[in-house]
């Protein structure tokens, strides 16, 4: 999502009190694993950008020890000495670092001491100056955004994004509030408001010598994902120029002439183009895109692939078609011979190099885990962040075929802690169409005779994936002697387009059976799993499937849906991304009998069959899955006589982000399962489902 450019990192807030009694609970056995409170001591690397000469890397470190949400700091590391240096003091926050073409300056957004806005610093952290003091953001849903800042090739100007009010801004903040927009709600993660601020992102440029700022675009559209051309004449950007842009999500690519502000259109399609970048010689443009007639703002069923076209928009070709999996935003090799991009594959996120002139793709990083940010330098040098099975994302550097070097080791909290093993297995789906993969995080402290609870943790999307990468909550459960099962059900990414499409028209259908078949396989292959102590949880679509599955089976002793959809009909008309069900089912709910189908596939319709004690967690200002979904299901469960608890988190949007809220929700989850799991060995096997 495209967050408001300050509130995502800069807001401080109070938090709900945790469950104090849980702090006295010791992990299973004698093994020393992670506890929920350890989260506040974690750090991970967010962005990573190599300097033009390859001698330094600028990177952000995200900290969980601040009030409110995790906050980023900016660091620079000399790659010869591997000595890190923070820009600003401990209280500073900074994002979006970008080197000048000559490597003598670093621009970034944030706050350092009394300085804030768009800032400039030397590579040694000196001469920090303010270029633009006030940069405005927007909470409008603008997913898939690329660069917010780009240098002119001569290093004399910097283009950046800032928002200005559109003609409806005053109406949407008045008393009474007047709404005329279809897209009147903010994005999923903002969490602080309930309404779109009606600000529009535009392109500005600042001259470094004079500090003069010019607004280069204006109007009723948003411009974003900017990149300055090598000849200095144009700036690429992406924008939705549809006459009904709120109703139809469709980015195209444009080029802005810097001097006269004229705009030329490079694509005109019904599908989406994201994150365009000029080639080093300015003759080509690479971008990430789709090719279907409908793409949703929040999630897309179609795997995005890498595309390339000529600078005039001609000869568009899907160069990423050689890989049948979801691809991330591309970056050029400095010599223009290849592009690099991430690929989701069987739970991991690998990094690939693809020659643009033809030839086979080559995996540059193919370890189990996830590549996040990356930066490509000269002579095959690569800086990237990587989440391994044993730690949050750290910074690595790699040159050519040489082994990668790990440059950061930020989490002293892991010293002396036992990290649980993650093992994958596959099973045959209920309809014999797919081999479905699942990942099992094993308990810490197992013995030859011990029995252990199992928590089924379902990912969101539905077009997402779980994998072997470090999962904090799974590790906290493992430290208590609990296993966690993550099933990449049909509809998940990383298994090809056919698998991602397999949930089409079948929400709360066979993908739910994939989860149950995964549980069936796990309890029969891993005999140490205690069938009498199984719980189920998930976030977003994982919360939806949790709601649904407890109306289909009683095999789980407790359930914890977070931000789950209980009513596909009401949800469709309350969420901000109103094309989602149209994409997932092929038509609007009001067409044909889809309204009846959606109601039939809603957990709320079948709530009379739900007898599993359920704790619902939800962000108060969730505009993705509005909290009314949890409100309905909570009351319905109460009406049925099923034990239910409802926890509402202030200042949260879709999902739970504030550090103390995450700790609190983890503690409450443990307490809920502990309350409803029978004591080990207290009874024989009664749960033989499925």
CATH of the domain at 579: 3.40.50.1820
Is the distance from CB of 109 to CB of 100 less than 8 angstroms?
Answer: no
- CA 85 to CA 393: how far, in whole Å? 19
Among residues 477, 487, 437, 481, the alpha carbon closest in space to that of 457 is found at 487
Measured over the CA atoms of residue 68, residue 86, residue 228 and residue 332, the dihedral's sign is negative
| Residue 611 in this model has a pLDDT that exceeds 80 | yes
Which residues make Cβ contacts (< 8 Å) with residue 655, sequence separation at least 6? 188, 189, 539, 540, 562, 563, 619
With respect to residue 47, please indicate whether it lies within any of the assigned structural domains. Answer: no
| Residue 625 in this model has a pLDDT that exceeds 50 | yes
| Residue 689 in this model has a pLDDT that exceeds 80 | no
With respect to residue 516, please indicate whether it lies within any of the assigned structural domains. Answer: yes
Is the distance from CB of 333 to CB of 346 less than 8 angstroms?
Answer: no
With respect to residue 444, please indicate whether it lies within any of the assigned structural domains. Answer: yes
In this prediction, residue 684 carries a pLDDT of 59
Please report which helix (H) or strand (E) contains residue 618, including its range. strand 614-619
| Residue 23 in this model has a pLDDT that exceeds 80 | no
Q: Going by DSSP bridges, is the β-strand pair 56-63/558-562 parallel, antiparallel, or unpaired?
A: unpaired
Is the distance from CB of 227 to CB of 147 less than 8 angstroms?
Answer: yes
For the stretch 548-573, pLDDT in tens is 999 999 999 999 999 999 999 999 99
With respect to residue 72, please indicate whether it lies within any of the assigned structural domains. Answer: no
Average pLDDT value for residue range 216-221: 96
Mean model confidence pLDDT for the chain:
92
In this prediction, residue 3 carries a pLDDT of 33
In this prediction, residue 9 carries a pLDDT of 30
With respect to residue 507, please indicate whether it lies within any of the assigned structural domains. Answer: yes
| Residue 56 in this model has a pLDDT that exceeds 90 | yes
In this prediction, residue 190 carries a pLDDT of 86
If one counts the domains in the chain, the total is 1
Domain region containing 627: 418-676
In this prediction, residue 167 carries a pLDDT of 86
Average pLDDT value for residue range 464-487: 98
| Residue 44 in this model has a pLDDT that exceeds 90 | yes
Q: Going by DSSP bridges, is the β-strand pair 252-257/263-265 parallel, antiparallel, or unpaired?
A: antiparallel
In this prediction, residue 27 carries a pLDDT of 38
Among residues 379, 384, 375, 401, the alpha carbon closest in space to that of 350 is found at 384
| Residue 324 in this model has a pLDDT that exceeds 90 | yes
pLDDT-derived band at 31 (thresholds 50, 70, 90) equals very low
Q: Is residue 603 helix, strand or coil?
A: helix
- CA 652 to CA 495: how far, in whole Å? 32
Lowest mean pLDDT among 37-51, 75-89, 669-683: 669-683
Which residues make Cβ contacts (< 8 Å) with residue 210, sequence separation at least 6? none
Is the distance from CB of 518 to CB of 487 less than 8 angstroms?
Answer: yes
Angle between helices 541-549 and 510-525 (to 10 degrees): 80
In this prediction, residue 401 carries a pLDDT of 86
For the stretch 399-408, pLDDT in tens is 988 999 999 9
Percent of the chain scoring above 90 in pLDDT: 86
With respect to residue 400, please indicate whether it lies within any of the assigned structural domains. Answer: no
Is the distance from CB of 218 to CB of 167 less than 8 angstroms?
Answer: no
Average pLDDT value for residue range 105-115: 95
In this prediction, residue 577 carries a pLDDT of 83
Which residues make Cβ contacts (< 8 Å) with residue 597, sequence separation at least 6? 585
Please report which helix (H) or strand (E) contains residue 8, including its range. helix 7-10
Question: Can you give the pTM of this predicted structure?
Answer: 0.93
pLDDT-derived band at 296 (thresholds 50, 70, 90) equals confident
With respect to residue 161, please indicate whether it lies within any of the assigned structural domains. Answer: no
- CA 202 to CA 215: how far, in whole Å? 8
| Residue 170 in this model has a pLDDT that exceeds 90 | no
With respect to residue 384, please indicate whether it lies within any of the assigned structural domains. Answer: no
| Residue 226 in this model has a pLDDT that exceeds 60 | yes
């Amino acid at each position: 999502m495209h967050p408001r450019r300050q509130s995502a990192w800069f807001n401080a807030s109070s938090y709900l009190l945790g469950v104090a009694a849980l702090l006295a609970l010791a992990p299973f056995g004698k093994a020393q694993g992670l506890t929920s409170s350890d989260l506040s001591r974690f750090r991970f690397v967010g962005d990573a950008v190599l300097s033009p000469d390859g001698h330094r890397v600028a990177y952000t470190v995200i900290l969980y020890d601040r009030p409110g949400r995790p906050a980023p700091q900016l660091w620079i590391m000399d790659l010869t000495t591997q000595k890190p240096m923070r820009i600003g003091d401990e209280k500073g926050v900074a994002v979006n670092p970008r080197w000048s073409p000559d490597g003598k300056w670093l621009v970034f957004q944030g706050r350092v001491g009394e300085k804030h806005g768009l800032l400039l610093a030397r590579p040694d952290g000196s001469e920090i100056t303010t270029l633009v003091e006030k940069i405005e953001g927007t909470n409008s849903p603008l997913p898939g955004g690329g660069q917010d800042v780009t240098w002119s090739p001569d290093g004399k100007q910097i283009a950046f994004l800032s928002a200005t009010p559109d003609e409806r801004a005053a109406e949407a903040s008045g008393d009474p509030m007047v709404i005329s927009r279809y897209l009147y709600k903010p994005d999923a993660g903002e969490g602080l408001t309930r309404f779109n601020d009606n600000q529009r992102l535009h392109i500005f440029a600042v001259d470094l010598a004079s500090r003069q700022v010019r607004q280069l675009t204006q109007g009723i559209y948003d411009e974003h994902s900017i990149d300055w051309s090598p000849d200095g004449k144009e700036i690429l950007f992406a924008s939705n120029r549809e006459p009904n842009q709120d109703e139809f999500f469709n980015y195209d690519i444009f080029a802005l002439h810097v001097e006269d502000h004229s705009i030329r259109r490079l694509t005109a399609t019904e599908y989406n183009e994201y994150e365009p970048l000029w080639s080093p010689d300015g003759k080509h443009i690479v971008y990430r895109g789709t090719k279907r007639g409908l793409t949703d703002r929040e999630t897309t069923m179609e795997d995005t692939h890498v595309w390339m076209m000529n600078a005039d928009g001609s000869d568009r070709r899907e160069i990423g078609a050689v890989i049948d999996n979801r691809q991330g935003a591309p970056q050029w090799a400095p010599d223009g011979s290849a592009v690099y991009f991430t690929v989701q594959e069987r739970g991991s996120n690998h990094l690939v190099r693809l020659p643009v002139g033809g030839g086979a793709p080559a995996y540059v990083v193919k370890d189990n885990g996830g590549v996040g940010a990356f930066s490509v330098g000269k002579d095959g040098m690569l800086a990237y962040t990587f989440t391994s099975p044993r730690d949050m994302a750290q910074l690595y550097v790699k040159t050519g075929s040489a082994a990668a070097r790990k440059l950061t080791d930020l989490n002293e909290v892991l010293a002396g802690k036992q990290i649980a093993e993650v093992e994958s297995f596959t099973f045959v789906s209920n309809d014999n169409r797919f081999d479905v993969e699942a990942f099992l995080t094993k308990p810490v402290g197992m013995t030859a005779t011990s029995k252990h609870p199992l928590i089924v943790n379902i990912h969101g999307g539905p077009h997402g994936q779980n994998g072997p990468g470090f999962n904090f909550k799974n590790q906290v459960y493992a430290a208590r002697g609990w296993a966690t099962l993550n099933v990449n059900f049909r509809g998940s990414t990383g298994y090809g387009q056919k698998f991602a499409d397999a949930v089409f028209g079948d929400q709360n259908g066979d993908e739910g059976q994939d989860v149950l078949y995964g549980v069936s396989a796990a309890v029969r292959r891993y005999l140490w799993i205690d069938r009498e102590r199984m719980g189920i949880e998930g976030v977003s679509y994982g919360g939806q499937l949790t709601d649904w599955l407890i109306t289909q089976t009683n095999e789980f002793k407790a359930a914890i849906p977070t931000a789950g959809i209980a009513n596909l009909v009401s949800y469709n008309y309350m969420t901000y991304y109103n094309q989602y069900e149209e994409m997932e089912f092929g038509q609007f709910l009001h067409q044909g009998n889809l309204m009846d189908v959606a109601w039939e596939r809603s957990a709320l319709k079948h709530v009379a069959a739900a007898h599993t004690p359920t704790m619902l967690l939800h962000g108060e200002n969730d505009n993705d899955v509005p909290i009314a979904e949890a409100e309905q299901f909570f009351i319905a469960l109460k009406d049925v006589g099923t034990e239910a608890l409802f926890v509402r988190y202030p200042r949260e949007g879709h999902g739970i982000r504030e550090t103390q809220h995450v700790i609190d929700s983890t503690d409450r989850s443990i307490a809920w399962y502990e309350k409803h799991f029978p004591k080990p060995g207290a009874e024989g096997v009664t749960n033989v489902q499925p």
